[in-house]
Amino acid sequence: MIKIRVHRFNNELWGRAHLPFFKNFDEHLSKFFDVDVVNYNKDGETFSGKIELLSEISNFGKTPPISDVEYIIENLETKEIKVLSFTEYFTHYVTHFAKSNSCTRILLVHFNWNNRYEWMKRDRSVKDIDKVRPWIFLPFKEFDYDYYRELRQSKLEFEDKLFYLGSGIDSYRKSVQMVEQKGFLQKTGNYSFSDYLNKMVDSKIGLSHYLDLDKYTTPFDHPGEFCYRDIEYMSVGLPFIRIEYKDSVHDPLLPNHHYISIPREKAYIAYEKNKDEGIADLYIQKYLEVKDDKELLNFISKNPIEWFDKNIKSPNIDILTCELLELNKWLN
């Protein structure tokens, strides 16, 4: 078997979605390769730093830095490198790998086709642009998707008000706070994850955890548009309202197919006129338009479940990731 080495910093304290995925992907790769996993977090408290490679990366030589959201795969025979990254800051660490001749693929969770050019142009590496590709996004953590999906499908009635639970409504999601103040949102607050899931499946329509429009206005801002909550909504078939995505995953999420969309141009006009309240009013208008449209809601509920099973459910996510990294070429 071809020997490969995985380089990463295990962050047991704050693993989020990427830690269990990385561990599961280690096991998936071990079916095809002789896998050596190197955890550089020796003390349990170090979440970034230098790793040790066989080939040189940009100006860092053989010891480039990564953080706990990166997963570096190195072919010990050819010295070829593949990168998975949950980073919100492409130009923080990952851009250095893109410029290296030994790196042939980088998959990003927070990906934007327009921004890709801007990222590579700023680093004077447009020739390497096609190494950087969109990947997927994950729920915060795994749960019994089928159980909660079936629980929701068994409901005869749903909570009519919009569903939203999460942080940031008093800082970078102010429009959500205004929807709540206007009486169209279920009660927010801190709940256990199981209570959150039960409230989610009891709901008719969700509200996306979208950032306000004064954020993410240049290719170099953080963090991108996707949120764990969006993917959790999709996993159980909860239709949700959001401004049309400009970021992308490998299998694109389509407006009014996978989610209930507010056209981006309408959002910018509303924001220019009335700031965050203008966005809140757009959410409310769209909610009032669709809340009793059973045909649309059933359609939107079905499509994201199909997308989720195809892209996120194990083992499909592992198989897809291998295909996108072109690891099959190492086996031939």
Look at residue 201 and tell me whether its pLDDT is greater than 90.
yes
Neighbours of 81 (CB within 10 A): 24
Spatial CA neighbour of 175 closest among 321, 285, 99:
285
pLDDT tens-digit series, residues 40-93 = 999 999 999 999 999 999 889 999 999 999 999 999 999 999 999 999 888 778
User: Which has more pLDDT, 134 or 167?
Assistant: 134
Q: What is the pLDDT of residue 194?
A: 95
CB 57 within 8 A of CB 97: yes
Does 284 score more than 90 pLDDT? yes
Q: Is the pLDDT of residue 15 over 90?
A: no
235 vs 55: CA distance, rounded Å: 40
Concatenating the DSSP letter of every residue in 40-66 gives: --SSS---EEE---SS--GGGTT--EE
Say whether pLDDT at 196 is over 70: yes
Task: Give the mean model confidence (pLDDT) for residues 126-138.
Answer: 96
- What's the average model confidence in pLDDT over 102-125? 94
Is residue 191 pLDDT above 70, yes or no?
Answer: yes
Q: By mean pLDDT, which of 131-135, 198-202, 227-231 is the weakest?
A: 227-231
161-183 pLDDT, tens per residue?
A: 999 998 777 777 889 999 999 99
pLDDT of residue 169: 76
pLDDT of residue 13 exceeding 90:
no
**Strands in the chain per DSSP E:** 3-8, 34-39, 48-50, 65-67, 70-75, 81-85, 103-108, 132-134, 206-207, 240-243, 260-262
Q: Note the pLDDT tens digit of each residue in 210-219.
A: 778 888 888 8
Nearest partner of 160 among 318, 309, 296, 292, judged by Cα: 292
Task: Check residue 223 and give its pLDDT.
Answer: 66
Residue 14 has pLDDT above 90, yes or no: no
Task: Report the mean per-residue pLDDT for the chain.
Answer: 94
pLDDT digits (tens, 9 = 90+) for 142-163: 999 999 999 999 999 999 999 9
Task: State both tokens at 209.
Answer: 């955890």
Q: Is the pLDDT of residue 190 over 90?
A: no
Give phi and psi for 39, each to the nearest 5: -100, 115
